Structure 1
């Protein structure tokens, strides 16, 4: 028997998620005017973007420093290579996940904020940054990492990206 195609699960999930989030986007953006916003209205988006980039910078710095610290740790006679590999995997995946989501997050947030609702976009962006900060803690440092609790960091960010993207599309149609 052949292995199931993992993409099929993604298709099933997305085919249910898009209509639900699209419906929420429709009802929460009724009456929204699509159009350029003033630079003053965009200030909260600037702060949220700086917050996101600061967290990203911290994660990258943590990854680089971790490599140096772990090298020193392994030189000790009691250094546990498996433990170090788990710690480094956490640091690497944290940066990887943050980087993977950077494009969709920044584009959907700025698109929604620029044309529909800058304050709501900034608030949703701040929530996304908050759940991003949880990622290294929820990922875990064990050999079986990531733990299942990681979805508490990743899933809300996917939903927020889809919501802001679909809200922008909905606003163009209303």
Structure 2
């Protein structure tokens, strides 16, 4: 194996907790099967977020325009509006992947059981980005984040960390 001499050692990627978020979901809207798969809208009906540097609410009106691909993977396309507790607005977008092993598909389809499944048994990762005109939160405009999602009763939750 040859090593390309143009590469160099860089610091390992480190993260720091930014916030935890729970989004309440509206009844889903199923657009049906299309050329790329089955498109479904999981609308956000509200929610909360809290972390060491900010906290607030998830405003209704956003959502996940998810695509269920033919291979069974769900590709995420999320847009949300967050309102901080000091009344500033943050636009949050992310894509990601939710991979459910075949042996969990039946339990994940059961609305009573799905939020009880250990999130370590499925892969649900996101890459949040933020946009705001707020001077107080302008530091968020340049963050790259990673998130780990999981189901909760009545909605979905995430642990969001910024990449340092």
The structure with the largest alpha-carbon Rg is 1
Larger RCO of the pair (alpha carbons < 8 Å, separation 6+): 1
More helix by share: 1
More strand by share: 2
TM-score by length of 1: 0.23
TM-score by length of 2: 0.24
